[in-house]
Amino acid sequence: MHSASGIEDLIDVEELANETYSLEVSKEKARYILNKIDEEDVNFKTTFKDNIWTFSCNTRIGRTHSINFNDLELISKKHKGIKILELVKCWCAELLDSYVPSTVTQKTNQLISSIYKTDFFSEEKLDDFINYLSEEVFVFSNVSVMEYVNNSKSNLKNAHKVLSIINSVVSFINYLDLSGHESYVRELVNLRRKIPRDVNNRLLPKSKDVLTLNNCIEHYFENGFSCEKVIHFSPILIWWKLTNIIPMRISDFCNISRDCLDEENCTITLPRIKNTNSKRNLQKISTIAINKEMFDLINEYIITTDSYGRSDTLISWKAINETGSNISSAYRDYWFSKKAPEFIHSSSFHNLLKSFYKNIVTKYYHKDYEREVNPNDTRHFAFCSLMLQGISPVEIARLGGHSTIEAQYHYSNHTEYFIDIEVKKLMESYRIKNGQLSNSTISGLEFSRKDVESKSFNYPKSSTRLKMNIGYCTDELQICESEDCMLCSKWWISPEELVDNLHLIEEKINSRKQKITELSAFLKTLNENITTTMFKEGLMKEELEAFETSANEIKSHIEAIARFKEIEGDVYE
* Exposed e or buried b per residue across 447-475, where buried means at least 16 C-beta atoms within 10 angstroms of its C-beta: beeeebeeeebeebeeeeeeeeebbbbbb
Q: In DSSP terms, which residues pair with 379 in a beta bridge?
A: none
Q: What is the mean pLDDT of the chain?
A: 70
Contacts of 28 (CB under 8 A, 6+ apart): none
Q: Is the pLDDT of residue 327 over 80?
A: no
Q: Following DSSP, what letter does each residue of 539-551 receive, concatenated?
A: --HHHHHHHHHHH
By mean pLDDT, which of 202-206, 227-231, 505-509, 535-539 is the weakest? Answer: 535-539
Q: Does the pLDDT at position 2 exceed 60?
A: no
Ranking 260-274, 329-343, 501-515 by mean pLDDT, the lowest is 329-343
Tens of pLDDT, residues 16-28: 223 345 788 888 8
- pLDDT of 400: 53
With 70 as the cut, is the pLDDT of residue 432 above it?
no
Q: Which residues pair with 262 in a beta bridge?
A: 267
Question: Which residues are CB-neighbours of 504 under 8 A, at least 6 positions away?
Answer: 470
CA 335 to chain centre: 26
Encode burial over 173-205: b for 16+ CB neighbours within 10 A, e otherwise.
bbbbebeebeebbebbeebbebbeeebbbeebb
Cβ 358 vs Cβ 270: under 8 Å: no
Lowest mean pLDDT: which of 52-66, 244-258, 430-444? 430-444
Write out the H or E segment, with its range, that includes residue 167: helix 154-176
For position 273, what pLDDT does the model report? 45
419 vs 222, residue with greater confidence: 222
Q: Are strands 466-467 and 261-262 parallel, antiparallel or unpaired?
A: unpaired
| Residue 367 reports pLDDT greater than 80 | yes
pLDDT higher at 492 or 161: 161
Residue 472 dihedral angles phi and psi, to the nearest 5°: -135, 155
Asked whether residue 483 carries a pLDDT value surpassing 60, the answer given is yes
Look at residue 337 in the predicted model and tell me its pLDDT.
46
Looking at residue 159, what is its pLDDT? Answer: 75
If one compares 376 and 3, the residue with the highest pLDDT of the two is: 376
pLDDT (tens digit, 9 = 90+) per residue, 124-162? 999 999 988 887 555 444 445 445 444 544 455 677 788
Of the candidates 440, 446, 477, 445, the one whose C-alpha atom is nearest the C-alpha of residue 459 is 440
pLDDT value of position 155: 56
What stretch of H or E contains 274?
Answer: none
266: left (phi over 0), alpha (psi -120 to 50) or beta: left
Least Cα distance to 243 among 252, 230, 234 occurs for 252
What's the pLDDT band for 438 if we cut at 50, 70, 90? very low
149 or 378: which leads in pLDDT: 378
Question: Cα–Cα distance between 24 and 472 in angstroms, integer?
Answer: 73
- Residues 371, 374, 376, 379, Cα dihedral to 10°: 50
Alpha-carbon gap, residue 195 to 73, rounded angstroms? 34
Task: Give pLDDT, residue 249.
Answer: 81
Confidence check: pLDDT of 329 > 60: no
User: With 0-12 CB in 10 A as exposed, 13-18 as middle and 19+ as buried, what is 353?
Assistant: buried
Query: Which range is most confident: 74-78, 132-136, 231-235, 535-539?
Result: 231-235
pLDDT of residue 513: 63
DSSP, residue by residue, 179-243 = TT-HHHHHHHHHHHHHS-HHHHSPP---HHHHHHHHHHHHHHTTT-S-SHHHHHHHHHHHHHHHH
| pLDDT at residue 231 greater than cutoff 80 | yes
pLDDT in tens, 83-105: 899 999 999 998 887 777 888 89
| pLDDT over 90 at 428, yes or no | no
More reliable by pLDDT, 169 or 161: 169
Query: In DSSP terms, which residues pair with 53 in a beta bridge?
Result: 67
